[in-house]
A and B are shown apart, each in its own frame.
Chain A
Amino acid sequence: MSSTEQGTSSAAPAEPTTAPESAAAPEVPESFYYVHGKDKVVHKVSAGALQHSALIHGMISNLGYTEEQAKANPFPFENIDGDILQMVVDWCNQHKGKPTPPEDTNLPKQKEKLFDLVLAVNYLEIKELLTYCCKQVAMMVKGKSPEEIREIWMIPTDAEDEAAEKEAKKRAGKEAAGETAAAAGDAK
């Protein structure tokens, strides 16, 4: 398994130091967790950054992982492409502990990537990023004609939809008939 570590140097856990007793209590070192997508590339993300994701935050608080356990068992997100997960991790790191701005202009411009990002962010329950992404998807069709919208959002017409549905039914029927015939053959 390949591994890329995404944490910044400033966010790395502090080495224990011998501070005088009279000094103020040392800051609690930040804990890190690990996630991987479909490509199995592991990303190291701080707990602070992961707070953006209600899903991961819930998992962390329910599982009570130590850092070692978390390193040995990265959270698997097999339904998310590696590059999309990388985008999500980058966004969480950039917005760690900061108020989110009203707009985000760094979202992907390619529609396929954007659709993938929307689905991933929805799954990970990152509310603010989902709002930006949905707005960007909507802005793609602002002021466009129905034909242009159909092309941009890759939506079939009603006729195409019906034809596809009819064909799917026909195929399912054929498959079912084939299975029945095969089952009858086996019985013989």
Chain B
Amino acid sequence: MAYMDYENLYNQLSRGETDFEIELKPEAIVEALVVNTMPMHPVEEIFHVDPGQKNLMNMPVSLMFKIAGNLDPVERTALRSVNKAIKNLADSLPPVFESMSIAWTSCNSLYWKFNDNPTEHFGEGKLEKLSNIPGFKVNNLRLRSYGRCGRTLFNYPKTKLADVLPESFLNAKNVDINVATINDAIQLLSIAKPGDLESIRLWPVDRSEGEHFPKFFNTEQFKKTKNVEILSLQGFDVEVLSNFSHLKSFKIKLSGDFVEEDFLRIRETISTFEDLEKCELRIVSGFQIREICKALGIKIPLGSLKTITHRYQIPESNKCLDFKIESGGPSILMKIMRIR
């Protein structure tokens, strides 16, 4: 037996690897001594026993990418410690997050969450570091600033909300904003690149902010987006609706002092929206479903009325608006689809 073979055997035994019956069979040792060969090393036994064994490493690289691509960048961090090959795989996938929620504290520092994961992350400079990774992108961005609601004149932060948000967040496709004032909403919206934004959702702002909505509608981001949801638009005026003429879809909750003629004017205004596919108006007006139907000239059946459908032929056009009007609590929901 050669010195190296003795050394191998010694090393195996000193590591406590005594569980190799094949190798320690007397005839095997005799064979090793006689023909100067050692039996197969245990590692070889383990890894060459079933070359056809299915595992992730046996898959084509394109499939490994496709599989790992289903995990978001945070979920992929665990892959980085699995082994070198998987680490390289995880690192070569672009850091695209499906959704991210960012919230501002009262002193304008940030904390954030990824997708539906409840774990909160925070720390100065960390978000910027993350956003500086080449290819970083968030598809759906939720921006929240609850803390600002409770601020007073004395603890109002010197920095703006947008000042602490890294620039890379400008490229989100969909933005969901929940802030106290229209000015804060405009400030956050203004950092997004006009034209890149596919949809905007704005949660209710302070009641006193209603008069500032025209400023929101005048932002380039609003003018160039295609889908909008405004969860509360106070101080209704039919003219306001004309701001939505460029949209493919919109949802609004309208409240204010309505008069009967307003419903006809809403229908007329919406019928002029050439690009519209569908919209939903939740109207808080004090009017009941029967009164609205009457105002729109819809025949009302006898008995209780919860839902009614109505097709409106757009004058001098071959297109129609399909209305589904539903009553529910203090509001009326009007779902409108444009039929081509």
Contact = CB atoms under 8 A, between A and B. Distances in A.
B54 interface: yes
Interface in B191-216: none
Contact of A155 (B43, B57, B70): B57
Contacts of A158: 83-84
A138 B83 contact: no
Interface in B42-100: 43-44, 46-48, 53-60, 62-63, 66-71, 75, 78-86
B41 interface: yes
The range of chain A's interface size is 20 to 34
The range of chain B's interface size is 20 to 34
Given A149-B78, A155-B86, A158-B84, A142 B71 contact: yes
Contacts of A130: 66
Given A115-B59, A138-B67, A155 B83 contact: yes
B70 A153 contact: no
A134 B75 CA distance: 15
Interface in A114-153: 115-116, 118-119, 122, 130-131, 134-135, 137-139, 141-146, 149-150, 153
B68 A164 contact: no
Contacts of B84: 158, 161
Contact of B43 (A115, A131, A134, A167): A167
A144 B76 CA distance: 10
B82 A142 contact: no
B44 A171 contact: yes
A141 B41 contact: no
A138 B90 CA distance: 12
A30 interface: no
A134 B63 contact: yes
A67 interface: no
A157 B46 CA distance: 13
B75 A160 contact: no
A157 B56 CA distance: 13
Contact of B47 (A142, A143, A144, A160): A160
Contacts of A167: 41, 43-44, 47-48
Nearest to A121: B63
B83 A154 contact: no
A134 B41 CA distance: 36
A149 B82 contact: yes
A157 B84 CA distance: 8
Contacts of B80: 146
Contacts of B56: 115, 137, 153-155
Contact of B83 (A112, A131, A139, A157): A157
Given A142-B75, A164-B47, A155 B60 contact: no
A87 interface: no
Interface of A: 112, 115-116, 118-119, 122, 130-131, 134-135, 137-139, 141-146, 149-150, 153-158, 160-161, 163-164, 167-168, 171
Per CB-CB distance, the 6 closest pairs between chain A and chain B, nearest first, are A138-B70, A154-B55, A146-B81, A115-B54, A153-B56, A164-B47
Interface of B: 40-41, 43-44, 46-48, 53-60, 62-63, 66-71, 75, 78-86
Given A134-B67, A138-B68, A154-B56, 7 more contacts: A115-B55, A116-B54, A134-B63, A145-B78, A146-B79, A153-B56, A158-B84
